[in-house]
């Protein structure tokens, strides 16, 4: 099949994004700002992990190694996640803002994929629709609360988190070498189309939150992840994530 | 010295190992207000009150309710309402209802109209037939 490598590349990009953001968000488990939010954020992280698993399973049916092997044994340079998801969790403001910007792109990506010519992908997109709708609901609620209904401090912190995370978020839309093929084959309408929809979707929420979209002089500044060039933060994350697997690959829990 | 832990996240946080607890206990009552949560497991069913939770406002209460009361059992709808917004006759006034069980004249069974209804039905059937 001519479109296999294009499709696989898209699946790896999506699955690796989900796996790494899941791991990052799960770092809040037990340390969240309040118990109930700790539970909510951890639960969302679990959902992301589940989505990465579903995507790796599709890759398996296309002839790739089993999910655990893909997730736990690849070198850093084989990962296709964007740089946004690699950054350490920072404060809760940083993590919430990343959650908001990433998940807004994610919900739109899956929305586009519901019309994909690849049936497995379209079916998965339809299946996770409700789950992601909740993730976005969670993100929107917090962004608007802390942006406009909280205190002066919470507003200032959300604005500075937005200033920090927004330029990084463009790394999500780093185009792959297969863009034209994906679009022509009807697999996915492409990163540029997604980015335009994302910018449009953010506006009303940020307005409601009273937050100003920062200027971004170079949207390619944090590109590289989709080609295997990562930040200094990914390798330590992989070391931690794969620690048990490396000690005992047959461990069950 | 910082707290040493097997959890790499705690190691990274570099929490000072003072004799005093790094976190002071919250003063009493310094927490969010409570919300009551109502859960509906099927379309068309009545929402049933399943518990309460702490939240700073109704929007956040809904988020928390989703995780705490909608994560395991089948759910189609969740309601939250501030506990303070519920006006109630409390159990301390239960004596208001003490004699209710005796008032069976308020129940349909107190009326003896079965014969009349049967006669009415029979008459209608004959008329229509």
CATH assignment of the domain containing A175: 1.20.1260.10
Give the residue numbers spanning the domain of A238.
4-247
Q: What is the pLDDT along chain A (253 residues), one digit of tens a residue?
A: 545 899 999 999 999 999 999 999 999 999 998 888 999 999 999 999 999 999 999 999 999 999 999 999 999 999 999 999 999 999 999 999 999 999 999 999 999 999 999 999 999 999 999 999 999 999 999 999 999 988 999 999 999 999 999 999 999 999 999 999 999 999 999 999 999 999 999 999 999 999 999 999 999 999 999 999 999 999 999 999 998 888 988 887 6
Which domains does chain B carry? Answer: 30-128 (3.10.20.520)
Beta bridge partners of B39: B48, B78
Q: Nearest C-alpha of chain A: how many angstroms from B64?
A: 6
| A145–B67 CB contact, under 8 Å | no
When divided into structural domains, chain A yields a total of: 1
Flag whether A12 is in a domain. yes
**Contact call for residues A168 and A67 (beta carbons, < 8 A):** no
Q: What tokens were used for B93?
A: 């006034």
What is the residue whose two structure tokens read 């604005």? A159
Name the residue among A146, A147, A195 with its Cα closest to residue A175: A195
Mutate to test the interface with A, among B6, B55, B67 (most CBs of A within 10 A): B67
Flag whether A253 is in a domain. no
Kindly report, residue by residue over B1-49, the tens digit of the pLDDT: 888 888 888 888 888 877 666 567 767 667 889 999 999 999 999 999 9
> Mapping DSSP to helix (H, G, I), strand (E, B) and coil, where does residue A176 land?
coil
**Contact call for residues A17 and B48 (beta carbons, < 8 A):** no
Q: Nearest C-alpha of chain A: how many angstroms from B100?
A: 42
Task: Out of A134, A144, A240, name the one closest to residue B66 (CB).
Answer: A134
**Contact call for residues B79 and B37 (beta carbons, < 8 A):** yes
Flag whether A44 is in a domain. yes
Cβ-based contacts of B13 with chain A (< 8 Å): 31
Task: Tell me how far apart the alpha carbons of residues A58 and A48 are, in angstroms, rounded to a whole number.
Answer: 16
Phi, psi of B33 (to 5 degrees): -70, 165
Q: Give the residue numbers in A contacting B (CB under 8 Å), as ranges.
A: 27, 31, 34, 36-37, 39-40, 43, 134, 137-138, 141-142, 144-145, 149, 240
Phi, psi of A74 (to 5 degrees): -80, 150
- Check residue B93 and report its DSSP letter: G
| Whole-prediction pTM | 0.87
Q: What pLDDT sits at residue A186?
A: 96
Phi, psi of B37 (to 5 degrees): -115, 130
Task: Out of B8, B54, B64, name the one closest to residue A40 (CB).
Answer: B64
**Contact call for residues A44 and A24 (beta carbons, < 8 A):** no
Task: Out of B9, B13, B60, name the one closest to residue A141 (CB).
Answer: B60
Flag whether A237 is in a domain. yes
User: Containing H/E element for A21?
Assistant: helix A4-26
């Amino acid at each position: 099949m001519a479109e296999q490598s294009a499709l696989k590349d898209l699946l790896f990009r999506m699955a690796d994004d989900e796996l790494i953001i899941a791991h990052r968000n799960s770092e809040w488990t037990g340390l969240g700002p309040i118990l109930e939010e700790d539970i909510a954020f951890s639960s969302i992280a679990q959902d992301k992990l589940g989505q990465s698993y579903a995507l790796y399973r599709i890759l398996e049916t296309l002839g790739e190694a089993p999910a655990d092997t893909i997730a736990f044994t690849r070198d850093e340079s084989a990962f296709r996640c964007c740089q946004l998801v690699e950054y350490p969790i920072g404060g809760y403001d940083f993590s919430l803002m990343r959650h908001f910007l990433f998940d807004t792109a994610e919900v739109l990506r899956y929305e586009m994929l519901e019309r994909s010519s690849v049936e497995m992908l379209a079916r998965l997109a339809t299946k996770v629709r409700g789950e992601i709708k909740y993730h976005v609901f969670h993100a929107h609620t917090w962004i608007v609360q802390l942006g406009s209904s909280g205190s002066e401090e919470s507003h200032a912190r959300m604005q500075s988190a937005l200033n920090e995370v927004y330029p990084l978020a463009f790394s999500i839309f780093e185009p792959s070498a297969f863009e034209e093929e994906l679009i022509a084959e009807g697999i996915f309408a492409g990163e540029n189309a997604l980015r335009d929809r994302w910018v449009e979707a953010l506006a009303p929420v940020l307005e409601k939150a009273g937050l100003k979209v920062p200027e971004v002089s170079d949207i390619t500044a944090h590109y590289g992840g989709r080609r295997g060039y990562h930040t200094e933060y990914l390798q330590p994350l992989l070391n931690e994530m794969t620690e048990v697997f490396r000690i005992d690959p047959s461990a069950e829990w | 010295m910082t707290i040493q832990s097997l959890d790499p996240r705690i190691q990274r946080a570099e929490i000072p190992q003072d004799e005093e607890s790094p976190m002071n206990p919250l003063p009493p009552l310094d927490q969010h207000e409570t919300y009551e949560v109502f859960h509906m497991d099927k379309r068309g069913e009545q929402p049933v009150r399943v518990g309460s939770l702490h939240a700073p406002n109704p929007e956040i209460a809904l988020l928390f309710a989703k995780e705490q009361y909608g994560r395991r059992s089948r759910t189609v709808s969740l309601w939250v309402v501030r506990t303070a917004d519920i006006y109630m006759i409390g159990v301390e006034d239960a004596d208001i209802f003490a004699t209710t069980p005796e008032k069976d004249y308020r129940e349909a069974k107190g009326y003896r109209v079965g014969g009349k209804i049967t006669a009415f039905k029979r008459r209608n059937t004959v008329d229509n037939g």
